[in-house]
Amino acid sequence: MDPMKILHSLAENLLTPIPMCFALGIFCKLIHGGIKIPKELYYSISIFLLMSIGFVGGHELAKEVKDHGISTVWLPALATLFLGCFTPISAYVILRRLGGLSVADSAGIAAHYGSTSAVTYAVADVFANQSGHAPNSFLPTLVTILECPGIAIALAMGAVFSKVKHDAKQSETLLPPDDGHSHTKEEGQLGEALYEVLTGQSIMLMAGLLVIGFVSTFIMSEKGFHPFFDFFYSKGMIFRGALCIFLLEMGLVAGERLGDLKKVGIFLVAFGILVPIFHGFLGAYLGHLAGLNLGGCTVFAAIVSSASYIAAPPAVRLTLPEANPTLSITSALAITFPFNIAFGIPIYYQMAKMIGAT
Amino acid sequence: MQLYPLKQVTIVTEKILQDQLLPKLKELGAGGYTVSDCSGDGERGLRSGVGYGSNIQIIIICPEEVAHKILTHVSRNFFENYSCIAWIADVQVMRGARYVKKP
């Protein structure tokens, strides 16, 4: 593969409004500039983005099902489920074995990397469309499938392994065992955390609007449906502009976290870059095997590689309170997210091309 | 004017604990509470940002016995692993009976 081509593709991606808005946010934080995005605007935009992804995705899914039935969808969905279960385990093993992190920290970070980031999806989708390879229509469905299992598996691993360690320690020191209260409490907390993820804003809005878009495509006449579609899709205009504002705020937040990079150490920085490339490659490869097109493989690799920083943190905080949130949020938000936006997505695009996706 | 001596408990902690903490306060005997969003800096670093990492401040006016129960609960469950500070102060209030939970 021609390295010049890759460099060209990287530069082409970097010099588009979305990554540059993100960079502006970071730059502004570094020089203590005056950009301030009101919280309410940030929330409003994230609601619009999630609703738009869900609604347009539901509509496209309905069209796909009308034309092909579920024959084209079930394999990618299966690949998504598999990767949703695999990525937290691989992340956990790498953190625990290579990085020597504690059980709770490893599981906490693995939960973030097992889940996905809807904003990374949105940026990858824009990238694929800009390069003229519109991804398969049902990718938003895959995003919602990918969001949950990773968090569940990582939290369960964390709870089980901490319990094993806890029990071993107790029998070593000959302390009287707990009355069993702490165990049931842990299980209750795990259930609570999963409930929180499933009923959290991102899943409720995205999955909810997916169903709404899907059902109404079947029921409504095209004329009646169009105003809704025009509002949420708006030829990509409102979506992309809103994404610029959102990324500006993300840049401000990431810029604030840059100072924490020193605290997390070189291992996590390398982890936050190399593991997404590894997971991204798996995503592109399995996506290709499952029949995704070039744009689809690129976006799929991006969502598999991405780390959640909205759904995962509260779930981890409640279930594994001894895990240090600075480690997971810094690597997800200040390392992996910027890496994916700037370099990851074009790299996955090249990977998908190399694998033979068209 | 008749004033009654009571205790004011203030807890500053992570917003994600709100759902489990507030019902517990009532259980421990608080007649009510006031909650507000806040941010700040401390031992665990900057506590700001959107969604994650934001803090709440809870104020409870209650009798001394309840105040101690609340502080014990908070210190046992949250001090080790969460951003959490809490303190008790003396206050004087009108309508003292209002702050004592009826059995």
Domain segments of chain A: what residues? 3-355
Per-residue pLDDT at A9 exceeds 80: no
Q: Which residue has the higher pLDDT, A196 or B52?
A: A196
Res. A7 pLDDT band, cuts 50 70 90? confident
Interface of A with B in 266-305 (CB under 8 A): none
> How is domain A3-355 classified at the CATH fold level?
Na+/H+ antiporter like fold (1.20.1530)
Single-letter code of the amino acid located at A237? M
CATH number of B4-95: 3.30.70.120
- Average pLDDT over all residues of chain A: 87
Q: Residue A260: what pLDDT? A: 81
Q: Residue A178: what pLDDT? A: 45
CB atoms within 10 A of CB A210: 26
Interval B6-35: pLDDT, tens = 999 999 999 889 988 999 999 999 999 999
Res. B96 pLDDT band, cuts 50 70 90? confident
Instruction: Give A30's contacts (C-beta < 8 A, 6+ positions apart).
Output: A255, A258
Separation CA A296–CA A349 (nearest Å): 9
Q: Residue A11: what pLDDT? A: 83
Single-letter code of the amino acid located at A130? Q
Lowest average pLDDT, out of A125-134, A179-188, A248-257, A271-280, goes to A179-188
Pairing of β B55-62 and β B4-14 = antiparallel
Separation CA A110–CA A332 (nearest Å): 10
Pairwise CB contact (< 8 Å): A322 & B49: no
Smallest Cβ–Cβ distance between B50 and the set A42, A322, A326 belongs to A42
Separation CA A177–CA A108 (nearest Å): 26
Separation CA A189–CA A133 (nearest Å): 43
Q: Which two tokens stand for residue A280?
A: 């991204």
Interval A216-263: pLDDT, tens = 999 998 889 989 998 988 777 888 899 999 999 989 988 888 888 888
Complex ipTM, two decimals? 0.73
Interface of B with A in 8-67 (CB under 8 A): 14, 16, 44-46, 48-53
Classify residue B40 by its DSSP letter.
B
**Segment A162-173 mean pLDDT:** 64
DSSP string for A4-39: HHHHHHHHHHHTSHHHHHHHHHHHHHHTT------H
Classify residue B30 by its DSSP letter.
B
Residue B37 exposed, middle or buried by CB count within 10 Å (0-12, 13-18, 19+):
exposed
Per-residue pLDDT at A174 exceeds 60: no
Q: What is the distance in angstroms between the CA of the first residue and the CA of the last residue of chain A?
A: 16
**Segment A179-184 mean pLDDT:** 46
Q: Residue A1: what pLDDT? A: 59
Pairwise CB contact (< 8 Å): A317 & B80: no
Separation CA A345–CA A124 (nearest Å): 6
The percentage of residues in chain A with a pLDDT greater than 70, rounded to a whole number, is 92
Res. B47 pLDDT band, cuts 50 70 90? low
Q: Which residue has the higher pLDDT, A302 or A319?
A: A302
Q: Which candidate in B52, B56, B74 is best for mutational testing of the A interface (most A CBs within 10 A)? A: B52
Pairing of β B55-62 and β B34-38 = antiparallel
* Alpha-helical regions (H) of A94-180: 103-114, 118-130, 139-173
